[in-house]
Chains A and B, each alone.
Chain A
Amino acid sequence: MLGKTAGGLYWMFRSLERAENTARLIEAGFRIALTRSTGAEAEWKSIIATSAAQDAYEAKYQTYESESVVNFLLQDTDYQSSVLSVIKSARDNARLVRTALTTEVWTSVNETWMVLTELLKNPIPQTELPSVLSTIRQQSAVVRGALHGTMLRNDIYDFCRLGTFVERMDSTARIIDVKYYSLLPAPSFVGSRLDNVQWETILRSVSAHRSFRWAVEDDFTAPAIANFLILDGRMPRSLRFCASKIVDNLGFLGMYDETPKKSLQLAQTLSARLKDRDISSVFEEGLHEFLMSVIVENARIGQQIELDYRFNS
């Protein structure tokens, strides 16, 4: 496979994952704005922070109003991670790697781009927001379904999955980190019951408010939620899950390598840090410090994949 093609597949699926994650974040924020008379602005601010978009946002707006945040994240083409921008980038990458995709995957991405470009053409009135967000998630599901249902399980598939999990690990880590301050205003809060709304939003941001109840027979305490999102191998957006998938896919790619590539070594190191450990040891390490190091290592893995598989040179 061409190095450029591997890069196109990887970035196509990073972009699609990003679009979906942004839609989830907005959904969680929108719920707060609807159900709470106060606190919405702080919630929107934390969503912008999670997306690492403070500078870009504040260059345009002074306040964190629902409308401006939502339109910024959904349809601002000056912002390179808005849903509209990343969907275009996913589709451009898909065109670039057209020969590596099945017809189903290609048409689903192309259709997603057509549908969302039309949908996000104008600012979204609040009344339309739920249906717009649901369309974004539905379209992502269509692409994912086409990928799983029609693609050969070969190196092409591995690069698609790597893009998905590198992006998802970054997103989940950021969500926990931004919420960290509201979850744990002081270390003494560890173990205490959390404010209802805070636990709900963090779980909603990763679409896990139901699965948490089913999977974890525990109260909504900071350690229980942190454990679920960081260390639970069953939870498809947890850090541990993402890391082990990255190891798996890099392992398939390097099956015939005599010495493992550096990206695989890095991923194995990160994955080992997330396995077989107790959440209390994470709190001892310092949750924020721990998450920052995961974000940095994940980014290094991403860069090393680009080098090992010759995306650009």
Chain B
Amino acid sequence: MNTLTSFFDEMVSGAGARSPYATYEAWFSGQDTDRLANKAKEAEAFFRKTGITFNVYGQDDAEERLIPFDLVPRILSNGEWSKLSKGIDQRVRAINAFLHDIYNRQEILRAGIVPIELIANNDAFLPQMIGFSPPGDVYTHIVGTDIVRTGEDDFYVLEDNARTPSGVSYMLENRETMLQMFPELFSQIKVQPVSDYPKTLRRSLEACAPQSCSGRPCVAVLTPGIHNSAYYEHSFLADQMGVELVEGHDLRVVDGHIAMRTTRGYRRIDVLYRRVDDEYLDPLTFNPQSMLGVPGIMDVYRAGNITIANAPGTGIADDKAIYSYIPDIVQFYTGERAILKNVETFRCSEPDMLRYVLDNLSELVVKEVHGSGGYGMLVGPAASKKELETFAAKLRAKPANYIAQPTLSLSTVPIFTEKGLAPRHVDLRPFALVSPNGVNITPGGLTRVALTAGSLVVNSSQGGGTKDTWILED
């Protein structure tokens, strides 16, 4: 592991630019900084006007914020990408097989590879899914694998995000913005397009329609509503796919199918791309207080009359303790070694590991096993003594709720500032689509960037920004 003082910079190596950035660097050095600063302001105004915003939870005024956009692209060569995409493909297939297995024959538990306690005591494991196979045996229709880099050839998967990955709208909008701001760049540098994503998503979802569906499947996107932090993305995806954006109160069970209320009566839906969590999906099965879901949808689902994407119960694969077993899971189902590395993970439920974590807290990153969005995590090296003590007490009280990882020296890519380029830490979330026809990974993804110098937290909810991600054609 690198020490925290040396980072791999993806653009600059020694005196010159690394080869994927060579043409860009030459272009950039010929640019006028004031002109670029104006472009950056234009981009921000464009995002505001278009309403590409997100709501921040836990803020008094519930204001809408922009995710800051940085105009320096993050560039990967086709060679780098093809290794990554092979690794993601392999991992996504293994996770899908794992989900089918644990909800059916549970061979991996019987083989003693994943401990049964991790499943049995896990809230994300849904007993309602036991013995059921979703249409096409697909659980994870859309996956957004979080990848970090620490060196020339060192890529790690940080999280699998098999449940409800968000951010794909930024991948698409960031590219649109770059095309508008710097058309000349795209004639000099051949970048693989991402714009097919909505069409591919619709086709992929249609391919997962229930067997009983005849004719072209009717797809809809289910959103919790306009106050959800990712509402913009929900409406964007529905719009780009050309399908209806529905809320729970638009839907009901009609003749054993899910149907949406239109101005001409109820119309049947075959595939529901839901952006509502499992817990709120069906008040008759899960949280009875939920107003966001559809009463009875789980019965329709189990009767094979609708496809829910992603499948309920998929969240078990996002559990951070399960994550630590993914290399074994890949090996078990594919018979191959995992192409992408896992980050070393200490499960605090195990007394030896807990002791190690407590002794080395100031050097580790500690996360809640069910957490996401950067909430409730501790970044040891950045924490004060008091924060460390408070967190240690939490760890002792509920050790099984946490895992710890070494603080990775994430690679940096420069961002544009008024004083010129400045390196900042990044991660990458490519998006994979799964259907019975195979896995499709859009060349690119969402690059998130920590805007504060030295910060390792890239989450937008914690002040992170985004970059356009370029995969070069070779």
Contacts and interface: CB of A to CB of B under 8 A. Distances in A.
Interface stretch (A14-22, A39-47, A90-98, A225-233): A90-98
Interface stretch (B75-83, B255-263, B409-417): B255-263
B263 A110 contact: no
A114 B49 contact: yes
A111 B50 CA distance: 8
A107 B239 contact: no
Given A4-B250, A99-B244, A310 B263 contact: yes
A72 interface: no
Q: How large is the interface on A (under 10, 10 to 19, 20 to 34, 35 or more residues)?
A: 20 to 34
Interface residues of B, number: 20
B226 A92 contact: yes
B244 A2 contact: yes
Contacts of A107: 49-51
A3 B250 CA distance: 8
A98 B245 contact: yes
Nearest to B231: A95
Q: Which 5 A-B pairs have the closest CB atoms?
A: A98-B235, A309-B263, A99-B239, A3-B261, A95-B226
Contacts, number: 54
A73 B247 CA distance: 33
A313 B51 CA distance: 29
30 contacts: A1-B262, A2-B250, A2-B260, A2-B262, A3-B250, A3-B262, A3-B263, A4-B246, A4-B247, A4-B261, A5-B244, A6-B263, A92-B226, A95-B51, A95-B235, A96-B226, A98-B245, A99-B235, A99-B239, A99-B244, A106-B50, A106-B51, A107-B49, A110-B49, A111-B49, A114-B48, A114-B49, A310-B263, A310-B265, A313-B261
A4 B249 contact: yes
Interface in B212-253: 226, 231, 235, 238-239, 244-247, 249-250
Residue of B51, B235, B239, B249 most packed against chain A (CB within 10 A): B51
Contacts of B244: 2, 5, 99
Nearest to A106: B51
A98 B240 CA distance: 11
A155 interface: yes
Contacts of B51: 95, 106-107, 110
B374 to A, nearest CB: 26
Contacts of A310: 261-263, 265
A302 to B, nearest CB: 15
Contacts of A111: 49
B245 A99 contact: yes
Given A2-B244, A95-B226, 14 more contacts: A2-B246, A2-B262, A4-B246, A4-B249, A4-B261, A95-B231, A98-B245, A106-B51, A110-B50, A114-B48, A253-B263, A309-B263, A310-B262, A310-B265
Contacts of B245: 98-99
Given A2-B261, A4-B250, A310-B261, A99 B50 contact: no
Contacts of A313: 261
A3 B249 CA distance: 11
Nearest to B266: A310
A111 B261 CA distance: 31
Contacts of B265: 310
Contacts of B250: 2-4
Residue of A98, A99, A313 most packed against chain B (CB within 10 A): A99
A77 B18 CA distance: 55
A6 B49 CA distance: 24
A309 B49 CA distance: 31
Interface string B55-94: 0000000000000000000000000000000000000000
A110 B226 CA distance: 14
Interface in B251-284: 260-263, 265
Nearest to A155: B263
B199 to A, nearest CB: 16
A268 B239 CA distance: 36
Contacts of A98: 235, 239, 245
Contacts of A2: 244, 246, 250, 260-263
A295 to B, nearest CB: 26
A309 B261 CA distance: 10
Nearest to B265: A310
Nearest to A107: B49
Contacts of B249: 4
Contacts of B235: 95, 98-99
A15 to B, nearest CB: 15
A192 to B, nearest CB: 50
A99 B245 CA distance: 7
Interface string B444-470: 000000000000000000000000000
B258 to A, nearest CB: 14
A99 B263 contact: no
Interface string A85-120: 000000010011011000100110011001000000
A96 to B, nearest CB: 6
Contacts of B226: 92, 95-96
Contacts of A5: 244
